A and B are shown apart, each in its own frame.
Chain A
Amino acid sequence: MTDVTIQIDNPMEIPFRRNGFIRFLNVFLGRKVVVFGAAIILALIVAAIFAPIISPYDPYSQNLSESLQPPSRAHLLGTDRFGRDVLSRIIYGTRVSLLVGIVSVGSAAFIGMTLGLIAGYFGRFINTLIMRFIDALMAIPPIMLALAIASALGGGLWNVIISLGISLIPTQARLMHGQVLTVKQADYITAGEVIGASDWRIMIKHVFPNCLPPLIVLITLNLGVAILAESALSFLGVGIRPPGAAWGSMVNDGYQYLLSNPILSFAPGFAIMLVVLAFNIVGDGLRDALDPRLRGTI
């Protein structure tokens, strides 16, 4: 069906030129559900930054006389067993969630992509070495790894970040590696070689940018994964330690009162769900918007 594809043969004839970024935004924000996801993420970022201003109470101050109160006008989501305001703790919890997500995924992406790029580009011995290492890493279940690190180093924010970061490296490295192998086939990589560019230059200028779109999608999806995993670790008690406000540990705290005061677990649980959903939706939206098949169409 090569005959019927639209050809924009003469750029002069294109009535108005839109650059790549605007085209990307058009597709990305063209779907309502993606706008919804993006709005949630934006709201969370705002909440995390301005937590002290937004939250009605100090999330750490205990007031045992007001413990386990149901939702009321004073405490919109009630209080926990130490009398701390649940809403304030959830708002502060976004800080932990986003910090864990961004730092662990960010460092995993950086390390994983670098390893995948080097392995895929140079191939041969280096490839075997790096990719077998990644395979070994992949064989360790992330929760196991986190538990091991937590038991060795103790829990806490930074150990959670480290263990999650390590466990997220393989997916990033594998995808990058696969992308590099595809992109390497393209003639423009040979062209880079022919004009005398160094390996370094070809890797950074020609290979890397063309590998990126699916990796951006993966990073978004992994943010959801990391936030969920942090909650799971905190729930298990090897994550953020009390009195830190983390959603996972809040679910755990409320667990005992599930029948009498379900909001204690449901509210942070809902927050976790919302965030993971938002990141997945945005990831899907990015996948559509970055799809190379949409490139060049008007």
Chain B
Amino acid sequence: MAASHLLEVKNLTTEFRIGGSVIRAVDGISYYIDDGEIVGLVGESGCGKSASQLSVLQLIPMPPGNIVSGEAIFQGIDLLDFDPDGEQIRAVRGGKIGLIFQEPMTSLNPVLTIGRQIIETLVLHLHMDRQSARKRAVELIDLMGIPDAKQRIDNYPHQFSGGMRQRIMIAMAVSCNPNLLIADEPTTALDVTTQAQILEILRNMVKAFNTSLLIVTHNLGVVARYAQRIYVMYAGRIVESGTVKDIFDNPCHPYTLGLLKSVPRLDEPKGRKLVPIVGLPPNLGNMPGYCAFWPRCSKRSPACKKKPWPELRLISGQHYTACDYDFDKK
């Protein structure tokens, strides 16, 4: 392992207190991202993938949220030590760490022109003067492949299509030369061809600016195409991690395997039967003491129920799984 990572998250646990119950949305997860890397964080809705990212940037509403424990070391500094409303964390958000959300319309201010919003960011984080900030904003918009950047910069968010708005979000996110981009379901609300456009732009940004990119998504295809390493989350935990090849060619957690078998593939032969994962995701407010995937697991044994959820164990290289089942024996 490298001496220091760009971002290293250790044992992050986040809980939400809703009604009378405590929901552990993120349950002691650890992961890292290196310079220039594209990492995928995969999971279904409610698995804690978004909550973990919001926790790292202290963006979860507190209360009801609460970061119980953990560290998020970014360039040698623990982000969780900062005051959640303080100056320092705000300089990181939107500065050194750029954020891209699923729904750009809610992240852009509808009553300000997009140019103004980008210029504000530049003035705030990079202390540029307005004139050069405007020039830079036009460059950024142009870089995102939006035609007539000079004119369109004075338009309002609603005058753009969904795909265009997402490009503007990316322009804002990369405007301050971030070291890390976090894209939370950046293309879920978009059509496939637009999705391809957006992801291509993101990939080019990573190359051009040598930033790192963390894609949070439920789409296995997207990570297979773009990511180098993957973390798979289930019920608040990372259940498997490794390089894309590790995960797709040799999945070692029944959940990952189940996901791969349950999605239709474009290149599949006719008559391939999908194998759904039976049952439903667990209720995070009422977790069993054993592996939370057990009720849905195809490889389960009675022994699994007698021990706590297994810790991640090394398979080979960078490949870890949180399951004791030995896939090689078969």
Contacts and interface: CB of A to CB of B under 8 A. Distances in A.
Q: Do chains A and B touch in the complex (CB under 8 A)?
A: yes
Interface of A: 1-10, 13, 297-298
B111 interface: no
B51 interface: yes
A6 B18 contact: yes
Interface in B270-321: 279-286
A6 B280 contact: no
Contacts of B45: 2-3
Nearest to A14: B283
Nearest to B16: A4
B280 A9 contact: yes
Contacts of B63: none
A67 B168 CA distance: 81
B195 to A, nearest CB: 19
Contact of B279 (A3, A8, A10): A10
Interface of B: 16, 18-19, 21, 23, 25, 45-51, 54, 60-61, 65, 279-286
Contacts of B54: 1
A298 B19 CA distance: 7
A2 B19 contact: no
Given A3-B25, A3-B45, A297-B19, A10 B283 contact: yes
A1 B50 contact: yes
Contacts of A10: 279-280, 283
Nearest to B281: A9
B48 A3 contact: yes
A3 B283 contact: no
B34 to A, nearest CB: 25
Chain A binding surface, main DSSP class: loop
Given A9-B283, A10-B280, A13-B283, A3 B23 contact: no
A9 B54 CA distance: 24
B50 A7 contact: no
A48 to B, nearest CB: 40
Contacts of B50: 1-4
B65 to A, nearest CB: 7
B49 A6 contact: no
Contact of B65 (A2, A4, A7, A13): A4
Which residue, of B47, B49, B279, B280, has the highest number of chain A Cβ atoms within 10 A? B280
Contacts of B46: 2-5, 7
A6 B23 contact: yes
Given A3-B48, A9-B283, 15 more contacts: A1-B51, A2-B46, A3-B25, A4-B23, A4-B50, A6-B18, A6-B21, A6-B23, A6-B284, A6-B285, A7-B46, A10-B279, A13-B283, A13-B286, A297-B19
Contacts of A8: 283
Contacts of A5: 46
A3 B18 CA distance: 14
A204 to B, nearest CB: 35
Nearest to B53: A3
Contacts of B61: 1
A5 B282 CA distance: 13
Contacts of B285: 6
B102 to A, nearest CB: 8
A153 B65 CA distance: 64
Contacts of B16: 4
Contact of B25 (A4, A9, A298): A4
B287 to A, nearest CB: 11
B103 to A, nearest CB: 10
B151 to A, nearest CB: 35
Nearest to A7: B46
Nearest to B216: A3
B51 A4 contact: yes
Nearest to B283: A13
B98 to A, nearest CB: 19
12 contacts: A1-B50, A2-B45, A2-B46, A2-B50, A3-B25, A4-B46, A6-B283, A6-B285, A7-B46, A9-B282, A13-B283, A298-B19
Contacts of A1: 50-51, 54, 60-61
A64 B48 CA distance: 80
